[in-house]
Amino acid sequence: MSLDEYRAKRDFLKTAEPEGGDEGAHRRPIFVVQEHHASHLHYDFRLEAEGVLKSWAVPKEPTLDPSQKRLAVQVEDHPLGYERFEGTIPQGQYGGGTVAIWDRGTYEPATDDASGPRTVTQGIEAGRLDFVMHGERLRGRFSLVRMKASGRGNGKLQWLLIKKKDDFARAEEGATKPVVRTKAARPSARATRTARPPKEGVVVTHPERVIFPDLGLTKGDVFAYYGRIADRLLPFLKDRPITLERLPEGLAVEGAPHFWQKDTPASYPDWIPRVELPSERGKAVHYALVNDVETLLYLVNQGTLTFHAWASRVGALDRPDFVLFDLDPGEASFPDVVAVARALRTSLKEEGEKLFVKTSGKTGLHVLLPWTEEGDHDRARAWALGVAERVVEVMPERATVEVRKVKRGARVFIDVLQNARGHHAVPPYVVRAVPGATISTPLDWKELAGDLDPSSFRIETIFRRLAHQKRDPMAGLVRGFARPESPARRESER
């Protein structure tokens, strides 16, 4: 299908949205719903079909309540690469605002009549789509039904998104009033924990399930890894809102569920600590706080492979306590990544800053330092961008801050975009959701050489490495974290 309309509306020199066109189809078609804070809050509902994402703008949050029909305005097709897009579209660009993944999963066509299931394209032509969704939030049977032509919608086709009655249907909870939110006065966070974890600990279920088929690693192996690494990992997670990257079926099946979870379901035990952060629409999001090994292992047992943490903590969510430079090689070589990391260190060492380095767990490096200045995330990100631009001036043939991939060439992208409030980053010692079961691993600067192989740090090898270390190379980063007001003290003073 053509992406001409999608591309005509966007300037890819200014927006990080994917230009698309070269992605391969999934074995099982996927859907994605993105929460889009543009001129008004809405939800972008997308179904994979014929090499693109068929897309609708849904003004109200999708629901599992069959009695509540949601207006869905059909918009232009989007590239398949949009399924993972999260970030900020610059103001002045089409759809300017922030985009976050609200739900993601797979689906298959279905029908209520005897003619058999229609493809998405056939359903759009007929004016009715019936499908079964397998997501974290949206599950079971749904329909999209085209409405009769009207004067509304700027000439765009209008549909109704309807949940069908099945085992996943449930009544919608009462609406909450919207919360006004400004940069100067953000709503306060509320941390809760109402019970103690079980004395017998958390037990892994289905330990035999294969998670990493190339290595034969099972859910039990992943569970055991996180249990052993907890003492090193927890200081980087404590009191930070956590986004969970969940793969309940692992990587064994192509197209299996793979999604990011922010809100903690009410069905999770009440001994899991949460922080309640009101969204712009007034609906509370209950981020998990991974402050103890029981919580860590419970979430691993729910299919979490990777934990993504905020750069700030409860008590001071507007102020980061570290700054991250994410070095993405793209088409560049790993020795180039090493050279850029060393250039960052040299630049900031002259200013008296102490930097820390780790593998990203994939192909790049993360360079971090404590944020000890006054100021919020915007100031930290602006400062980081200035540092990155200085490095680019010194080595323009090897480094870039160019957001658009096609413009980077064989240069390392110094990404500072994750230093925004509400964005998250991969902490040390987490498992990455890639076939090699690689670990984001702290390094000593003297280890950083062009022949270093980031893929050598894996679940099966990491503890041999740690056994020979006298200290954690990133212990100094933890000591350098700011010390925000504790949630317990804040609650007691209310």
> Model confidence over 200-242: pLDDT tens digits?
789 999 999 899 998 999 999 999 999 999 999 999 999 999 9
What's the pLDDT tens digit per position in 79-121? 999 998 988 899 889 999 889 899 999 999 986 555 556 788 8
**Token reading at 11:** 């300037």
> CA 120 to CA 45: how far, in whole Å?
13
Q: What are phi and psi of 131, to 5 degrees?
A: -155, 160
In this prediction the pTM is: 0.64
Using DSSP bridges, classify how beta strands 217-218 and 210-212 pair: parallel, antiparallel or unpaired: antiparallel
> CA 409 to CA 393: how far, in whole Å?
16
- pLDDT at residue 115, rounded to an integer: 56
- pLDDT at residue 351, rounded to an integer: 84
Q: Which residues contact 27 (CB under 8 A, 6 or more apart)?
A: 254, 255
**DSSP secondary structure of 322-337:** EEEEEEE-TTS-HHHH
Q: What fold does the segment set 322-480 form as a domain?
A: Alpha-Beta Plaits (3.30.70)
User: Using alpha carbons only, how large is the chain's radius of gyration in Å?
Assistant: 23
Q: Is 176 left (phi over 0), alpha (psi -120 to 50) or beta?
A: beta
Q: Which residues contact 471 (CB under 8 A, 6 or more apart)?
A: none
pLDDT band, very low/low/confident/very high, at 188 (cuts 50, 70, 90): low
> Where in the chain do CATH 3.30.70.3300 domains reside?
322-480
Three-state DSSP class for residue 109: strand
The superfamily CATH assigns to domain 190-314 is DNA primase, PRIM domain (3.90.920.10)
> CA 351 to CA 132: how far, in whole Å?
57
> Where in the chain do CATH 3.90.920.10 domains reside?
190-314
- From 72, 258, 280, 268, select the one nearest 163 (Cα to Cα): 72
Query: Which neighbouring-strand residues pair with 133?
Result: 107, 140
- pLDDT at residue 33, rounded to an integer: 96
> CA 100 to CA 35: how far, in whole Å?
5
Q: Are 290 and 297 contacting, i.e. CB atoms less than 8 angstroms apart? A: no
